[in-house]
Amino acid sequence: MTVWQRRIIAMFIKRYFFISSKFTKAKTMTPGRSVLRLAMDQLFPEGFENAKPSQQKLFLAAAKELEAQKVISLCRRKGDRINSLVCLNIKKLSSLAGKKMPPDHLLAARHAAGIAGGTAGGISGELFGIAYGEAKSGARHKTGDDAQPFFRFIADNLTEFDMQRGADARAVEDLALLYRSIAANPGRVTSRAFSIFLFHDVNRIEQLKSVFAPIFGRARKLAIPVPAIIFPGETTSETMAGGNLIFLVGRHGAETRIATKGAILGVPVSTAREIRHVQADTHRLHARNAGRPPSVLMLENKEIFYALTEGSSTSLAPGLHYDGFLYTGGYPNRATGMLVQLFSRAGFSLYHAGDLDPHGILILQDLRKIAGRPITPVLMDAATFDRYLPWGKKLPSSSIGHLALVDGDFAAQSGVEALLRRIHETGKGIEQEVIDYRV
């Protein structure tokens, strides 16, 4: 096979992955002539006419040979000038490059996820054992009940784009094995040591976390539980809390009281797991809060969190002295989610302040789902937006598109409908750092 033949085939396969990645729900895909097309400027960015005569000759010979094999077709303009190449048989084209048909890979990975999720019926394991040797047996990659909803999500939503990142059938099997092994409580062992134990590869666990990161994110946005992959010493999931709070940490009967007393407490997920209860420090309760339930203000931005926590004696919008403050750091991680649920169970009044843009509203929506009850937005309204509009930033169209992810019922209940309209009308967003929260 010539260099130009390999180049043409590689570009068609890349194009196939790009197109088919848009069909997130499709089990199979057979592109038509209008789908898998390569324009000449994709092959010759500087123009075919400007290429060296030797390269023109080699390209034409390679293209005509592939056309003779009936895997591509040369589309010509008047004057016999080639306009584009069209793929006629992606399966045969892939086999010429020594690759399996891309849908075989995708279906094999989805089948592996279906086995892990307990819903692999309807697809023959023997078929995929022949077509793709990495999905031979379900025994190795069945997993526990906690992970099954997530693997069912993978089985229905895995895309070719995910596969390009490495989420093939073997990766799905390895992830299922990892979850099953974590559920069996491996004890005090680091991620890399456990990676060697399971996979004989020091970096495999980190690779799996990276490969599946976009899928984790998509699942969480749909409120599908994603089991954590956490080992001793890892602090990737952490948050901060401050104000006048008392945390009860440890098992019942052997609890430790930790009082923040106006200081800021760093809370990694390993500590968040051990917190049994939180309450306001009644000895430091502000007179203005007497007779009210304890309150916590969640803050998206770290700079604002530090500024408001350190000045906790100041009355803040909407005229409260909050008992506690919680830093969310953007979209809530696992440690943040644990504390949000803790405050919710303890009967705290929940407030949140964040950016006045699509992501800021989606963060509030995520927090609302985690808390399981309403959260009052603070200065996240149209009036505040218009007040700070001169200092707003133009949003990219991709960010504006995220407004479609805001649930209508949530917007109505949270009172952010007018804010959504102003963001859409102006195409701008307001960063939290420019807002003055003092009353």
pLDDT per residue as tens digits for the range 400-424: 888 888 888 888 887 889 999 999 9
Between 23 and 286, residue with greater pLDDT: 286
Mean pLDDT of 388-395: 94
Sequence-distant (6+) residues with CB within 8 A of 279 are 245, 246, 248, 294, 346
User: Of 245, 253, 408, whose CA–CA distance to 339 is shortest?
Assistant: 245
pLDDT band at residue 126 under the 50/70/90 scheme = very low
Among 83-87, 118-122, 343-347, which stretch is predicted with the lowest mean pLDDT? 118-122
Sequence-distant (6+) residues with CB within 8 A of 47 are 41
Which residue's entry shows tokens 């803040």? 316
Task: Specify the pLDDT at position 289.
Answer: 58
DSSP H or E segment with residue 304: helix 302-310
Task: Specify the pLDDT at position 78.
Answer: 62
Q: Answer whether 178's CB lies under 8 Å from 146's CB.
A: no
Task: Specify the pLDDT at position 295.
Answer: 92
Q: What is the mean pLDDT of the chain?
A: 80
Mean pLDDT of 58-80: 84
SS3 label, residue 264: coil
Task: Specify the pLDDT at position 362.
Answer: 93
Percent of the chain with pLDDT over 70: 81
Percent of the chain with pLDDT over 90: 31
Mean pLDDT of 347-355: 95
Q: Rounded CA gap, 56 and 45, in Å?
A: 13
Task: Specify the pLDDT at position 120.
Answer: 43
Instruction: Please write the tens of the pLDDT for every residue from 167-178.
Output: 888 999 999 999
Mean pLDDT of 277-295: 75
pLDDT at 220 over 50: yes
pLDDT at 26 over 80: no
Give the chain's radius of gyration (CA, Å): 28
Between 389 and 89, residue with greater pLDDT: 389
pLDDT at 309 over 70: yes
Q: Answer whether 391's CB lies under 8 Å from 398's CB.
A: no
Tallying the residues shown for the chain, one arrives at 439
Task: Specify the pLDDT at position 121.
Answer: 37
pLDDT band at residue 255 under the 50/70/90 scheme = confident
pLDDT at 291 over 80: no
Between 356 and 162, residue with greater pLDDT: 356
Strand bridging mode 295-299 / 324-327? parallel
pLDDT at 253 over 70: no
Between 97 and 85, residue with greater pLDDT: 85
Sequence-distant (6+) residues with CB within 8 A of 371 are 340, 341, 343, 344, 350
Among 2-11, 279-288, 300-309, which stretch is predicted with the lowest mean pLDDT? 279-288
Tell me the CATH class for 238-434.
alpha beta
Mean pLDDT of 334-355: 94
Task: Specify the pLDDT at position 354.
Answer: 95
pLDDT at 76 over 70: yes
